[in-house]
Structure 1
Amino acid sequence: MNAFLGAAVDGILYAAWLFNIAVGLTLIYGVMKILNMAHGTFYAIGAYLGATLLGLWFSSGLPSLGSLAMIPVAALVAGLAVGVAVERGVLRIFAGRDPVVLLLVTYALFLILEDGIKLIWGVDPYVVSEPMWLLGTVRIGPLVYPAYNLLTVAAAILVGVGLTWFLQFTSRGKILRAVIHDEEVSHAMGIPVSRWKLSAFVVGTGLAALGGALTAPTVSVVPAMGVEVIVMMFAVVVIGGLGSIPGTVVGALIVGLVRSAAVHYWPEVELFSIYAVMALVLAVRPKGLFSGVELRKI
């Protein structure tokens, strides 16, 4: 029973982390129809920026608990700086091109940004583990976890509820949904589509950076850490259905629980288990569990 409880809790914590890093990818695809290969690098930039700001905070002798505020600050700075630069400087130029072209463009961005990270932060690992222990520990049955892990779960819940509320119950959210469903009609109605695309891309980038900043205190921040997560991101959004936030929630839970069960009971098939679940879901639902009806013009 202890092993089962451990697998379940680890799976939920991992699912919350996956949702945080993948929901921005879903948002960007839903609005811009771009499979953003550079999304893992946005996560890495958030982790590096978060580690840098946290390191500066602790080296300045400021109150330790206030360091947690550096996590959303890192996400905001990364979202605004990187998101605006990439969308305005690159993606706007290729707007309307074939999706395969856009996929290759974002892959090129991924390679460029990975080298940019090495130029700015070098190749040595950054370790800022102090925030992990600021909130103490929490006991779940016989198991003990750092209470910091609950921040990841809280962030996932706040982001998921916030995005759903915005899209479903606000006037601006309904405008964004109009842009998602029919860009041409939105133009005709006077909606500044390009501005909404920029906003969505910046938010999506910021969410990836938030996931990275939240992760920074729990791992060594090293080059190519964005490469390690991009497969998991795509597994989540493909299983759930591209462009679907509820699908991202379900996809993250499936991947998180399956991976955790594999780690606890059959470690040799950990990575294979993710591909097996993805293949099984796509065999039954080729466009994902929550894929919507796609409109096409004839």
Structure 2
Amino acid sequence: MLKFTAIMLDGMNYAAWLFLVAVGLTLIYGVMRILNIAHGAFYAIGAYVCASALGVFYAAGLPGALAFAVMGVVALIAGVIVGLVVERGVLRFLYGRDEVLMVLVTYALFLILEDAVKLIWGVESYFVYQPYAYFGFVEIGGLPYQVYDLMIVALAIVMGIALWFWLERSRMGRMTTAVVADREISAAMGINVTRIFATTFAIGTVFAVIGGVVTAPKIAVTPGIGVEVIILAFAVVVIGGLGSIPGAAIGAIFAGYARAMSVHLAPAYELFAIYAVMAVVLAIRPHGLFARASGRKI
């Protein structure tokens, strides 16, 4: 029974983390048709900025509860700044180009940002465990579990609902949906497509940065942490269907529980589990579970 409880809790936590990391990637592709390889570097920047900000915070002797407010502010500011700098400084000059070219450009950005992280923060590891330990643990089904991990699950749910509300209920979201359907007609109707792209990319970057920020207290923040993340994020969005927000959520759940079951039942296959799920899904549905039907232009 304890093992079942552990699988359920770990799968839920890992799925929540994967959703936070992957949803920005699928949002950017769905609106802008950009496979953003640099997404992993945004995650790493979030982790490093969080570690630095919390280091200053705790050195100043401020109340521990305020650390979570600092993490939220850091995620928002860093995500918006990095997203707008990359979109306005590089990507806006390449809109309308071949998707393969965009992949190469974002891969180059990933390499540049990875080196920039090393230049700014060096190659030493950063540890900021205090937020992870602050709330302690709670016993669930006889198993002690960190409250911080449960907070990540709650955060993923809140962020997912907020993103859905923005897309479905806000004026900007409805304009974004129109741009996804047909950007040329949307522009002809007076929608500022450039502004939609900039906003979308900034929001997608904020999600990646949030993933890094909430992960920083759980790990040693070291160079190269963005490499594995971008691979996992792509696996999740491919399972769910590129460009689908519900698909990112379902893909994260599939991947999260596949990993949890592998860790507890067959540890030797942990790294293989997520990609096995992806292979099975693609064998049945080559475009993912929730891939949008697209019209063919003649």
Cα distance in structure 2, aligned partners of 1:32 and 1:268? 38
RMSD (Å), alpha carbons: 0.9
Residue 75 of structure 1 deviates from its aligned partner by 1.2
Distance of 2:29 and 2:257 partners within structure 1: 25
- Normalised by the length of structure 2, the TM-score is 0.98
1:270 and 1:27 map into 2 onto residues whose CA distance is 28
Corresponding residue of 2:291: 291
Matches within 5 A, 1:1-298: 1-298=1-298
Q: Displacement of 1:133 after TM fit?
A: 1.6
Q: For the residues of structure 1 that align with 2:183 and 2:207, how far apart are their CA atoms?
A: 24
Aligned length: 298
Secondary structure at the aligned position of 1:148 is classed as helix
Q: Distance in 2 between matches of 1:150 and 1:274?
A: 22
For 1:70, give the aligned amino acid.
V
Indicate the larger mover: 161-170 or 251-260.
161-170
1:131 positional shift? 0.6
2:146 corresponds to which letter in structure 1? P
User: Which 5+ residue runs of structure 2 have no aligned equivalent?
Assistant: none
Name the aligned partner's letter for residue 267 of structure 1: P
Report the residue type matching 2:269 in the other structure: V
Q: Distance in 1 between matches of 2:268 and 2:104?
A: 33
Deviation at residue 52 of structure 1 after TM alignment: 0.8
Return the letter of the residue paired with 2:242: L
Shift of 1:151: 1.8
The C-alpha deviation readout for 1:206-234, integer Å capped at 9, x for no partner, is: 11001100001110100000012111100
Paired-residue identity, %: 55
Q: What is the rounded CA distance, in whole Å, between the counterparts of 2:292 and 2:95 in structure 1? A: 23
CA shift, 1:109, in A, is 0.4
Residue 78 of structure 1: CA displacement?
Answer: 1.6
The range that moved more, 169-178 or 241-250, is 169-178
Report the CA distance between 1:297 and its aligned residue. 2.2
The 2-side partners of 1:83 and 1:198 are apart by 8
- Measured in 1, the distance between the counterparts of 2:4 and 2:100 equals 43
Cα drift, residue 139 of structure 1: 1.3
* Structure-2 separation of matches of 1:73 and 1:52: 13
What's the offset of the Cα at 1:170? 2.2
